Structure 1
Amino acid sequence: MWAHGSLAGGDYQPTRSDLDLVAVLSRACTAQEEHHIADVHEILGRSNPLAVKLHCGYLPAAEAADPARAHLAWAHEELLRRPITPVTRRELHEFGLVLYGEPPAVILPPVTERQLTDFVLHDLKTFWRPSLDHPEWWLKDIWVDLGLLTLARATVTLRTGKLISKRDALGVLQELDAPAEVVEDIRRRRYGDPRPAGQPWLAYRAESTLAFLGPAIDRLVAGHKPTGTSAES
């Protein structure tokens, strides 16, 4: 069992941060076992407020080599299937917490620079850029927070190959000339004392975020030089 994300990186904020875990399995779950896992998560969510933000990927060890392969996961209070992405894998290798069993390096292959770069660019182009066509989504805190923080973290990863925390990403957003009021709103809700937000502010925040993010994503993607073929490819 491993932890990654904010908890492993030292930026965990109780009740505000997700609790990101990966459980390594000896084999894939049966349908009955999947139902049991969902029941356990639902019971935890009702009994412990922190469990509402619990995200856990269930990774059969025999399937660990393929970063594109989808696995059973619990996230956003539902059972789904999604990959253990190259970003998550790099986090696990660099600063993952071993809660039980073998360390990630024993089970997960290393993540190459090309794998990391290709994933970050693909995520920006195929998920985040199209999401801007749904302005109603951006009235919610989670879209504003993750959209802007992902841009900042992607910028650093594409430039340097490094992963940064959400706290550090706020500073990068300032350097990128993101809307200062929106950046401060994220900082206050994550690290300070959140204030009640009315509909006029939510609408203004969404409009400002969308106006900034579209051109910023386009510039980042267009300005990044494709990774050359090398021995690590």
Structure 2
Amino acid sequence: METETLLARLVRELAAVDPVAVWAHGSLAGGDYQEGRSDLDLIAMLPGPVTPGVLWRTAVLHARLRREALAPKLHCTYLTPDTAADPARRHLTWAHQQLFGRPVTPVTRAELHAFGRVLHGAPPAGLLPPLPDGSLREFVLRDQRDYWRRALDRPRLWTEDVWVDLGLVTFARASATVRDGRLISKREALDLLPALGAPGEVVDDVRGRRYDDPPPPVTREWRARRAGLVRGYLGPAIDALVASNG
């Protein structure tokens, strides 16, 4: 399995920065992982600060992995004991074949504590502070209101598969978290969406591209129509979710 080959090689390469622990989250840890379609979402806990030397070694080790078939799907964020507690802090991250900074969100933190997969070292419970009560619910509502609702004002984004997929799935997952505190998989989110009023043909489109082999083709005409359906659904749906849980 190419996924396990890449994970094993990554752990070997990470010896260059001497991580305390390496964890998987997302679908790779929680189930519903689809090789070649799902991202490989990882967190590495480093023993000390990210110095220029650590930054260089991190860039080099990821460059060595570029020829691996699944390397474009690999996302790894680097925490340190002194910075791990702050959910707003931007941490060194390798994703989309480059290094940049991004936060480790409350959703990721909750996933790690609930079902994080240990690839190396200690489990998350001993190294990553737990979330304060209510912070996960507050985060997903804020994310829907301030990020996804505003993104709907950019129509061209919604002709792209990734925005349709993430927009719908993230809304369904946020709804489940707000309603009963659960973290659900993408498959569970797709199963929930019809009950939340999402357009059935769009849900079928997302499901087919994620699970069918081969995935169904997406025509230009369907992209345009699908964008209108998704934007017409998500705008009022997000507004209602936020208004009823404010």
Instruction: Report if TM-score (shorter chain) is over 0.5.
Output: yes
Structure 2 residues not aligned, in runs of 5+: 1-21
Does structure 1 residue 213 correspond to structure 2 residue 234? yes
Match of 1:173 in 2: 193
CA distance in structure 2 between the partners assigned to 1:148 and 1:82 by the alignment: 22
CA distance in structure 2 between the partners assigned to 1:118 and 1:77 by the alignment: 31
Does structure 1 residue 77 correspond to structure 2 residue 82? no
Match of 2:29 in 1: 8
Deviates more, 1:181-190 or 1:61-70: 61-70
CA distance in structure 1 between the partners assigned to 2:151 and 2:63 by the alignment: 29
Match of 1:159 in 2: 179
Match of 2:43 in 1: 22
Structure 1 residues not aligned, in runs of 5+: 226-233
Query: How many residues are matched?
Result: 224
Residues 115-167 of structure 1: CA distance to partner in whole angstroms, max 9, x if unpaired? 10111111111111111111111111110000000000000000111100000
Alpha-carbon spacing, 1:139–1:35, altered in 2? closer, same or farther (3 Å): farther
CA distance in structure 1 between the partners assigned to 2:98 and 2:151 by the alignment: 21
For residue 59 of structure 1, the aligned residue among 54, 76, 79 is 79
Measured after TM superposition, the shift of residue 39 of structure 1 is 3.9
Alpha-carbon spacing, 1:139–1:32, altered in 2? closer, same or farther (3 Å): farther
CA distance in structure 2 between the partners assigned to 1:165 and 1:200 by the alignment: 30
Structure 1 segments, 4+ long, off by >4 Å, are: none
Tell me the amino acid that sits aligned with residue 100 of structure 2. Answer: L
> How does the TM-score come out when normalised to structure 1?
0.92
> How does the TM-score come out when normalised to structure 2?
0.87
Residues 192-220 of structure 1: CA distance to partner in whole angstroms, max 9, x if unpaired? 13122111011111111011010000000
Residues 89-117 of structure 1: CA distance to partner in whole angstroms, max 9, x if unpaired? 11000100111111100011111331101
CA distance in structure 2 between the partners assigned to 1:39 and 1:198 by the alignment: 40
Written as runs of structure 1 = structure 2, the 5 A alignment for 1:177-192 is: 177-192=197-212
Query: Contact 1:70–1:83 at 8 Å: present in 2 too?
Result: yes
Measured after TM superposition, the shift of residue 32 of structure 1 is 4.3
Query: Contact 1:113–1:161 at 8 Å: present in 2 too?
Result: no
